Every structure is written in C-alpha cells, then in structure tokens.
Amino acid sequence: MISTLKKEALGFLFLLLTLAFIAAMVCSRSFFDWAFERHQNQWSWYLRPLFLLPYAYFAYQRRFSGMMASVLALFTSMFWFPVPDQVSAQALEFLAFEQDYLQSEWGLGKTLLMLTVPIAFWALGLAFWRRSLLMGGVVMAVVALAKITWSIINAQEAGTSIVVPALTGLAVSAGLLLIVYRVKKAKDRRGV
C-alpha cells in the first residue's frame, strides 16, 4: 500500500513539474526564447513523438508515475539538444509561426484547440490502460495526422517541415505496436 502511494506521489510530482515547465514557458519570455532556440535542433522534432511509446507502455502497465515521467520528458525534450549550427529556412519559419501563435491573444477558440492536447493524452492513456493496442494505435495516428494538418493549414509551406518527423514517429510507433500485437497473439495461441 505504501509503495503504491509513493509511486502515485511520484506521478503527481512529474505532473507538477510538467505544469511548472508550461508555466515557465508562459511567464518567462527569456526561458521561452531559450527553449525555442534549442528546439531549432531537429533531433528534438524526431525524439518528441517517440515519447508516446513509453507513455503507452506505462499506461498498459497501469503505472501513472511512468506515464507522467514520459509527458515531462516529451515536453522538456524541446531543449535537450544544443542550438544547431544550421537550420533550414522552412524550419525557422515554422518555429517562428509556433512562437507567434503561442504568444498571441488567447481567445476561446485557441483555448479549446489547446485543450485537445490533454484530451489526446487522456485518450491515448485510456486506450492503453484498457489494453487496446488497436485503439491506442488509432489515437497515435489521429494525433500525428492532426498535428500535420494543423501545421500545414496554419503555417502553409513552413508547416510541411514537421511532416517527416511526425510520420517517422508514427511509423516507428505503428511498427512497435504491430510487433507487440504479434507477440501477444502468439502467446495467446500457446496459452502462455
């Protein structure tokens, strides 16, 4: 019982750290600029979607602390890499668009749109918590395609810069889910 409470407390600590990161991004322009400067490194663009995999794994294992650690890692990974020496003009234009979008006026529409982020995490967590690999895969695909669609609609040509990282993350995730599904099915057939 105590061990379970400690694990849950650790999960809430990771959740609070994620919220503190978001608050720092909102309240500190210098931190916001510092993080986005490092986010120019496209390694972070490829890494971020992959954090949905440990999130899904921990949801499948019903370990809230692991889920929240994965969310914290996903959010903070935007600044894990150094500022790159070279950045494509398209990537710089897209990041400038995202920065302007996040710092511009927040109305009801933008607030509702941003609520899709925690809703997507909830849906993904719920799918894997219920051990539905199919629904989890569908949620992952919807999230990736929604990010691509939103980016292209709103940032036009610059928005296409996220297509390859998003689809790469989706392909890796789908491939791993397929492997897990086949292993699980083989175990079920053997009665293990």
Confidence grade of residue 73 (pLDDT, cut at 50, 70, 90) = very high
Query: Is the pLDDT assigned to residue 1 strictly greater than 60?
Result: no
pLDDT band at 41 (very low <50, low <70, confident <90, very high): very high
pLDDT of residue 60: 95
As a whole-number percent, the residues of the chain with pLDDT over 90 amount to 82
CA distance 135 to 114: 22
C-beta separation of 111 from 85 below 8 A: no
Calculate the average pLDDT of the chain: 92
Quickly state the pLDDT bin for 2 (edges 50, 70, 90).
Answer: low
Q: Is the pLDDT of residue 189 over 90?
A: no
- Please, which contacts does 56-63 make with residues 24 or more away whose CB atoms are closer than 8 Å? 56/124, 56/128, 56/136, 56/140, 56/173, 57/128, 59/124, 59/125, 59/126, 59/127, 59/128, 59/129, 59/136, 60/128, 60/129, 60/131, 62/129, 63/7, 63/11
pLDDT of residue 117: 93
State mean pLDDT over 47-73. 94
Task: Report percent pLDDT > 70 for the chain.
Answer: 97
Which pLDDT band holds residue 7 (cuts at 50, 70, 90)? confident
Provide the 8-state DSSP code for 192: -
| Confidence class for position 184, pLDDT limits 50, 70, 90 | confident
Q: What is the pLDDT of residue 84?
A: 92
Mean pLDDT of the region 53-82: 95
DSSP secondary structure string, 51-119?
A: GHHHHHHHHHTT-HHHHHHHHHHHHHGGGSSPPPS---HHHHHHHHHHHHHHHS---HHHHHHHTHHHH
Say whether pLDDT at 19 is over 80. yes
Does position 75 have pLDDT exceeding 60, yes or no? yes
